[in-house]
Amino acid sequence: MNISLIIPCYNEEANIQKGVLDKIGNFTKDDPKFLEVNIVDDGSNDHSKKIIKDEYLLQFPKFNLTENNHQGKAFAIITGVEKAKGDLVMFSDIDLATPIEESEKLIEQIGKYDIVIGSRNSERYGAPILRKIMAIGFIIIRDLLIGLKGIKDTQCGFKIFKRKAALNIIDRLKVFHNKRVAEGSSVTAGFDLEFLFIALKLGYKIREVPVTWLHVETKNVNFIKDSFETLKDILKIKYFDFLRQYS
């Protein structure tokens, strides 16, 4: 088993200063399952890249840094998948709202499945009430328009998949094509939806595993902007599916 761990990064100087990369580095450095840690920067304009280059690439040999133009989190993940050397690809949000130690729960299941996704407690401990309400509304709209066959939590930033399956799915993406642009912070939540929607279309086996999750406040999430962006992406997925573009 060899895993490429992908860490998307966009203006994460504050989180890096809290020691999140130290936790990831110390967890993976002596674990032979983890082949590499691919930090993919999504065009940060703070000091994130400088700190990673000056401190972490030297400290942790498994770390490497890829620098993208700013297109949003989805394309950082896609880049990480395409560059990965491992047979398995895992990604984690850099804020570690789900602790990196929870990866063992996903790894235990991946042998039987093509994709294993972390699932947060429905209470979403620590999350603002507005975020909880919007999450419920999002799930209702998602289920009405594109279904996803009972998957409860598509948006947890903690997933692992077989690389061959991931590349096959990425080749079929319609909403998240390489011409997409982003302005400011862009969590591109619709990417998880399109990825899983296509995975189900292709018959891949998906497992949802409960993981620990605690809300971490971040400036990279704008509830109103991100909700409208995600709604547009859901409608696009529905449109492309209606045209049988995912067949």
**Nearest CA among 35, 69, 66, 65 for reference residue 52:** 65
Per-residue model confidence as pLDDT tens digits over 123-161: 555 556 666 666 676 778 888 888 887 898 998 899 999
Its CATH architecture, for the domain 3-242, is: Alpha-Beta Complex (3.90)
Strand ranges inside the chain, DSSP E: 3-9, 34-42, 63-68, 88-92, 115-119, 158-162, 206-210
Rounded Cα distance between 155 and 73, Å, is 12
**Location of structure tokens 């895993």:** 3
What is the overall mean pLDDT for the chain?
Answer: 89
- Amino acid in position 128: P
Query: Against a cut of 0.85, is the pTM above it?
Result: yes
Helices (H) and strands (E) in the chain, counts: 10, 7
Rounded Cα distance between 92 and 77, Å, is 10
Please report, for the chain, the start and end positions of each structural domain, with discontinuous segments joined by +.
3-242
Q: Which of 12-16, 35-39, 230-234 has the lowest mean pLDDT?
A: 230-234
Q: How many CB atoms lie within 10 A of CB 93?
A: 21
**Nearest CA among 229, 222, 216 for reference residue 185:** 222
Per-residue model confidence as pLDDT tens digits over 47-106: 999 999 999 999 999 999 999 999 889 999 999 999 999 999 999 999 999 999 999 999
Rounded Cα distance between 102 and 23, Å, is 13
**Nearest CA among 152, 190, 160 for reference residue 174:** 190
